[in-house]
Structure 1
Amino acid sequence: MANNAMESKVTLRKTIGFFSGVNFIIGVIIGSGIFISPGGVLLYSQLNVGISLVIWAACGVISMLGALCYAELGTTFPSCGGEYFYIKRGLGSLPAFIFLWTGVLFTGPAVTTLNALMFSEYAVQPFFPGCHTPELIKKAAAIVIILIVGIINCLNTKWIVVIQNILSVLKMIVLTAIAICGLVHLAMGKTQNVQRAFDGDIPNVSQFGEAFYQGMFAYGGWNVLNFTIEEIKHPSKNIPRTVFTSITAVIVFYLLVNISYLTVLSPREIVSSAAVSVTWADRTIPTVAWIIPVSVAVSIFGSLNGGMFMLGRLNYAGSKEGHLPSIISMLHVQYLTPAPAMIISTILASIFVIPSELLSLTNYFTFCTWLLVGLTTVSLIALRYREPNLHRPYKVFLPIAYVVVAVALFLVIAPIVQNPKIEYFYALLFMLSSLIVYFPFVYFKLRIPYFDRITCFLQIFLEVSPTDLYEDHKDQ
């Protein structure tokens, strides 16, 4: 096995083409949001249907603009790691490490755990009709699904791509069916909730901010391909095309599905429903309403699968840049997957399932996400001026980057100003706690005794190899 590994470079395989890339983005973006919580946008829009639909479209456009900025960075720097790598190149090592610390130790595992708990809620609920799912069973099912996804990610990247393709197609079939039902209802004259769409109160600035947060949550994951650059075929051509195609498709689906909900349910019914898609199904297809909860579970699984894939690549990239232990950047010599990085992600997400009260803090890390989007886009602008002659296969119209920075700034400041809570301080304190690790172990390169021996043991035990094995062999 070792001889075969030395004959060819140990590196990630390029398995993601245009079709798979589109499905990957759609599969990660379309999670539970569009099925469960469109009422949030409507609530903060003051039950103004027209404004809520405009906000859904605007959130999609903002996601598109952000993704186009990321497309320039991804095609210019074809390396795994996404925002982490771009912030490091544009703003320096310290801001990148703070991002890595926050993503690897909290936001990434927490979001994975939330998806797993939501999946288990829908997957286990049919076994407890009319009752709440027992907490222990829900947590056990969440851990099992995290382990299954983690194992699949360790074994074969092609399986992940195939699974994402299948799940994305299933999601689009379900959303298409809901959209068609809505169009049929409109043709039948059920237009009472959309005829005077802009009647009603106008939300204030604070409410606009809350509505945008609800909508942007449903579009989360538009940056997933930037964490898989090394596995994309012809990235300079495929990344811009996949971004435009997939996000445009999501915008259209989201608008049509929201209109479909409005043809069956009143705005107040949508706001009061904990799972609007299930309520919609009970009204329109009562005999087969179970299809929607199953669809929600499938949708969440696809988002969970893509999120785990992305988190593993973040760990892998951070280790390659020297910000995490070297063992995490090694690939399995047979499967050519970042197995150690995926194992770390799986363990952390599984641990987060146990003390679920910790997950309440994730609400206050939302602003961290847009802080990092803003920093990434600032990195793009800085690199435009600092390295104007850098080869850029794709260049975004620079004013778009300024718009994204302005939106990110608004989404970071708005929740703190409109509803200041001490949890935001805790989130910021957690981010700054990374300095305790950064300066001794990264900046001053302090070595832990016997750590190299532990790395060697793990390398043999896990059957993994550094990605520069081929070059080292040639030099010898």
Structure 2
Amino acid sequence: MGLLRAVGFFHGSMFLFSVMVGSGIFLSPKGVLKYSSLNIPVSLGIWGIAALLKMMNAVCLAELATTFPVSAAPYYFLKRSLGSSFAFLNLWINIFGYSLGISAQSLLIAGCLLQPFYLGCQAPELPKKCLALAVLWSLGFLNARGVITVSWFNTISSLMKMVVLCFICITGVVLLVIGKRENISRFENALDAELPDASQIAEAILQASFAYSGSSLLLVLAGEVKNPAKTIPKSFIFGMSTVAVLYILTNASYLAVLSPQEIISSDSVAGTWMNKVFPSMQWVITLLISVSLINNTACGILSASRIFYTASQEGQLPFIFSMLNNHHCPVAAISKIIIFSSIAVIPSSLVNLIKYLMLSSFVLTELYMIALLKLRYQEPHLHRPYKVWSPLIFGSMSTSLFLIVLPMIKTPTMELIYQAIFFLSGFLCYWLHTYLNQRYGFFDKITCYLQLLFNVSPTEKSDSIFMQ
């Protein structure tokens, strides 16, 4: 018994659309414009640069997923190349990163759904949190039905999101072609605006990268992809290039209607845009934004569960998380991320949360590139169905290092120190896990009861599947 290889090129591309097109395009324009010093050409350029950097990272990581086409391929690859401690660090970062991200998205979904009923004021916190929990657990039950059910749900909702973005893009193009003075005036003197410094550009790229985050989902699902050697690289190139074009056109449409100051002061740029262009249809964009976020959250739950599944197989999480139900789904791992996300409390603003998630992402990217180079040196004759051009690996390493180090040098804050302590504490927890983990008889009894509760059974380990 094992995970099903049921994701082809079409569903793989739809997964990329669904996980990337979400809260990022509705939240990140605010942060990108802010750190671009309200410079319109620079902000649009940042969106293109972030897309190229993410695509460069993706095609590099595609090599590890095609070399080891197992579930949670990045985690497995780190363990194979750099050892168990760095694999545990990957797990440590992802446990908190996914919990915070999924929790924030659930609250955002609840806020979007409730806001039309509270015009002129903020929705109350208690109904928002109750609705967020209801959405979260509903998506957990959906994921428990297996990857095929989730892929069809994502395909339908992704097509809806693409329709929304295309509508915004076409409307913006029409407004610019018509040439109304208020629509094109802010583009005329855009080159005279103030230029941001290097640290601000790095911060802006971090904000834009959030909109492209989630592309690693296809790497996490490598054990469920048909013909991964061809499907994964093709899906990355097609999916990410399509999303990049849509994002640049969408931001141009925002700027054709809204001033930079209006974008900065808006909590939902798309909602403010719709309220100005089609005031009577604002509820439509609110509903479709909620659908986008629901889709994005479902993919986050799917991705997190596969990481916990593989970590359980490798002995770094309890054995119950690697057992599958009759839908070939690790339902105990899904329950874990749902519970963690339900109790997660987000003390910081969404902009600060984006910075934390993106910094974690670039730290992991740096580790993946080091592991890729090390394995090339140690095992040059290992079969690699897809091999990326070496300069792209060094380019990805240098840009990730730049985006990690520059903000620390230019604007050191206590928040960055806390993040560094959090990363290093992962090694301490690994030491405690390795040297203090004792095995007691009642653990087996608890596993047995949980196995009966979830109706799950053990699977083959990734190593044995890979060797076949």
1:35 aligns with one of 23, 26, 39? 26
Counterpart CA distance in 1 for 2:163 and 2:417 is 43
Counterparts of 1:25-424 in structure 2, within 5 Å, are 25-104=16-95, 106-190=96-180, 191-332=184-325, 334-352=326-344, 355-357=345-347, 362=353, 363-364=355-356, 366-424=358-416
Write the letter of the residue equivalent to 1:157. Answer: V
| Cα deviation code 1:277-326 (max 9, x no counterpart) | 12211221122122211121111111101011100011001111111111
Secondary structure (helix, strand or coil) at the match of 1:434 reads helix
Alpha-carbon shift at residue 212 of structure 1 (Å) = 0.8
* 2:13 partner amino acid: V
Q: Which runs of 5+ in 1 are unaligned?
A: 1-9
TM-superposed CA distance for 1:52, in Å, is: 1.1
One-letter code aligned to 2:48 = A
Share of identical aligned residues, percent?
38
C-alpha contact (below 8 Å) 1:441/1:447 kept by paired residues? no
Residues 41 and 190 in structure 2, CA contact (< 8 A), matched pair in contact too: yes
Letter in 2 for 1:22: S
Amino acid at match of 2:396: V
Q: 1:357: Cα distance to partner?
A: 2.7
State the superposition RMSD in angstroms.
Answer: 2.0
Offset of residue 390 of structure 1: 1.0
User: Is it true that 1:458 corresponds to 2:450 in the alignment?
Assistant: yes
Q: CA deviation at 1:275?
A: 2.0
1:214 positional shift = 1.2
Q: CA deviation at 1:358?
A: 7.3
The answer on whether the counterparts of 1:364 and 1:423 sit within 8 Å (CA) in structure 2 is no
Letter in 1 for 2:166: T
Instruction: Output the CA distance in 2 between the equivalents of 1:22 and 1:199.
Output: 40
Tell me the amino acid that sits aligned with residue 453 of structure 2: F
SS of equivalent residue, structure 1 residue 465:
coil
Distance, in Å, in 1 between the alignment partners of 2:28 and 2:366 is 26
* 2-structure distance, mates of 1:270, 1:347: 35
The CA deviation at 1:197 is 4.0
CA distance in 1, matches of 2:316, 2:16: 27
> Which region of structure 1 is more displaced relative to structure 2, 445-454 or 283-292?
445-454
Partner SS state of residue 195, structure 2: coil
Deviations 1:451-471, CA, capped at 9 Å, x for gaps: 1221122222221111139x9
Letter in 2 for 1:30: V
Deviations 1:245-285 (A, max 9, x none): 11001100001111111221223332232322122112211
Distance 1:437 1:45 in 2: 38
**Contact residue 206 and residue 359 of structure 2 kept, 8 A:** no
Alpha-carbon distance between aligned partners in 2 of 1:130 and 1:269, rounded to the nearest angstrom: 17
Deviation of 1:444 after TM superposition, in Å, equals 7.5
Structure 2 spans left out of the alignment, 5+ residues: none
In the alignment, residue 107 of structure 1 is paired with which amino acid? G
- Structure 1 range deviating more: 164-173 or 78-87: 78-87
AA in 1 matched with 2:159: V
Runs of 4+ with >6 A deviation: 358-361
Aligned-residue offset at 1:433: 3.1
C-alpha separation in 2, matches of 1:450 and 1:78? 35
One of 7, 17, 22 as aligned partner of 2:13: 22
User: Post-superposition shift, 1:432?
Assistant: 3.1
Length, aligned pairs only = 458
Which secondary structure does the structure 1 equivalent of 2:167 belong to? Answer: helix
Distance 1:54 1:229, change over 3 A: same
Residue in 2 that maps onto 1:3: none
Q: Please state how far the C-alpha of 1:402 moved relative to its aligned partner.
A: 0.7
Change (3 A) 1:463 1:225: same
- In 2, are the aligned partners of 1:67 and 1:243 still within 8 Å (CA)? yes
8 Å CA contact retained: 2:58, 2:215? yes
Kindly indicate whether residue 420 of structure 2 is the aligned counterpart of residue 428 of structure 1: yes
Letter in 1 for 2:77: Y
Alpha-carbon shift at residue 210 of structure 1 (Å) = 1.4
Deviations 1:78-109 (A, max 9, x none): 011143222212211111112212212x1111
Matched letter for residue 447 of structure 1 = R
TM-score by length of 2: 0.93
Deviation at 1:111, TM superposition (A): 0.6
